[in-house]
Amino acid sequence: MEYDVPRVRERIQHIETCLARLETLRALSEEEFLADFRNVEAAKHLLQTAVEAMMDIAGHIVARQRLGTPREGAEVFRRLGEAGLLPPERVPTYVRMVRFRNLVVHLYHEVDSRRVYEILQAGLDDLRGFIAEVWAIIRG
């Protein structure tokens, strides 16, 4: 299986850049975070683009593995799980991440700022886990 490693590496570097910036926001107290709209908007954007990079990587692997054409974004993670390339217990987390990304993009007015803060506090390791899983897939 031949993967476009530079393409994957570029997307992973984007996720890592987002993670570093999100860690800065994570360090704020909830009051500090919510007091400045720029914190909330920055976090939403960073989470959105990190998930988009994840979807790009997952889509690339699905295509190279010839796992079919997903009908919607979250399906790339389901297909990788079904193929045994992602741990099946991780797939629902990635599907929820895509749903959050869709909410930010399409129903942005419904995104709860406190929920964004909760994701910062509890969800960043999911991005790190995905990176590790991708490298395991790429390296075989």
Q: 1, 64 in Cβ contact below 8 A?
A: yes
Please give the class, per CATH, of domain 5-139. mainly alpha
Distant-in-sequence, close-in-space partners of 73: CB < 8 Å, separation ≥ 6: 55, 98, 101, 102
Q: What is the pLDDT, as a whole number, of residue 13?
A: 98
Q: 19, 65 in Cβ contact below 8 A?
A: no
How do residues 45-104 score in pLDDT, each as one tens digit? Answer: 999 999 999 999 999 999 999 999 999 989 999 999 999 999 999 999 999 999 999 999
Q: What is the pLDDT, as a whole number, of residue 137?
A: 96
Print burial letters for 95-109: b (CB count within 10 Å at least 16), e (below 16): bebbebbebbeeeee
Number of H helices, E strands in the chain: 7, 0
Mean pLDDT of the chain: 96
Q: 34, 113 in Cβ contact below 8 A?
A: yes
Helix, strand, or coil here: 66? Answer: coil
44 is written with which tokens? 């939403």
Q: Which residue has the tokens 């987002």?
A: 18
